[in-house]
Structure 1
């Protein structure tokens, strides 16, 4: 009726009562209340898991830092080995080793000469060994000078 419509338009409480008496609106209200309850339940459940999640984050951080430390240690070791290898095979290092080897051959030939003079070596044996050492000395010296 027109009177009822006017009352609904003018009285907010009457409008609300009428609106919530409609079956579809009742179903929507029930559904909304159920959703709110489920949302609150899920929120409480999630908040209950917060300490567990924090513990798991800490464990992940520990694992991550441990693995990182191990990987960094391996990397630094590999880097150190690379530097050692490069230092051993650098041109200056190779020339230095060549000079040391030439000096060793020169020292050995001098030792052979002393042994000859002291009578420890016979001339044929001296000549063979001395010649080998001198050839080795000159070959190494020439290689170093050619570089």
Structure 2
């Protein structure tokens, strides 16, 4: 129960620091607050010690994460570039592109067979060589042309 202080006691508490601290620390709530503060300081110190103990392990784990991240990133980037390259190759194999390439190849062999005709007309090659090469070239030309026509028909169907 609270008892009022007399004037002399109050003067003593105001002038004597030790007396003031003694009366202050005798109050239950202040004692409880002191215990809480001490407990908090102790727990904070324990956590700080634990953090210091774990600092090297944390640094190692961070380094391992960085290494894993960079190696996995390198592998993923390599895989991505490989897949991108495959995608570009597949794009060059679209039906339209393939038909175009087949038509170009047929035109090239057609031009070569025409050049062979000019050579035979000018007498620059023998007839037996002309016949053998010309037949091969025309067979290739017609094969490519027929393949192109068949492919165009199947695409439009």
Alignment of 1:26-45 (within 5 A): 26-45=31-50
Deviation at 1:18, TM superposition (A): 1.2
Report the Cα distance in structure 2 between the residues aligned to 1:78 and 1:136, rounded to whole angstroms: 31
Alpha carbons 2:103, 2:145 under 8 Å: kept: no
CA 28–135 in structure 1, closer or farther in 2 if over 3 Å, else same: closer
How many residues are treated as equivalent by the alignment?
Answer: 124
Cα displacement (A) at 1:92: 6.4
Displacement of 1:93 in angstroms is 6.3
Pick one of 54, 61, 73 that aligns with 2:59.
54
Matches within 5 A, 1:1-147: 1-89=6-94, 94-104=99-109, 114=131, 137=145
Structure 2: gaps of 5 or more residues: 1-5, 118-127, 133-137, 150-157
CA deviation after TM superposition for structure 1 residue 70, in Å: 1.3
* Structure 1 unmatched ranges of 5 or more: 116-129, 142-147
Deviation at 1:103, TM superposition (A): 4.7
Question: What TM-score, normalized by structure 2, do the two folds share?
Answer: 0.61
Cα distance in 1, alignment partners of residues 28 and 108 from structure 2: 110
CA contact (8 A) 1:105 1:136 kept: no
Q: 1:52 to 1:139 in 2, by over 3 A?
A: closer
Q: TM-score with structure 1 length normalisation?
A: 0.64
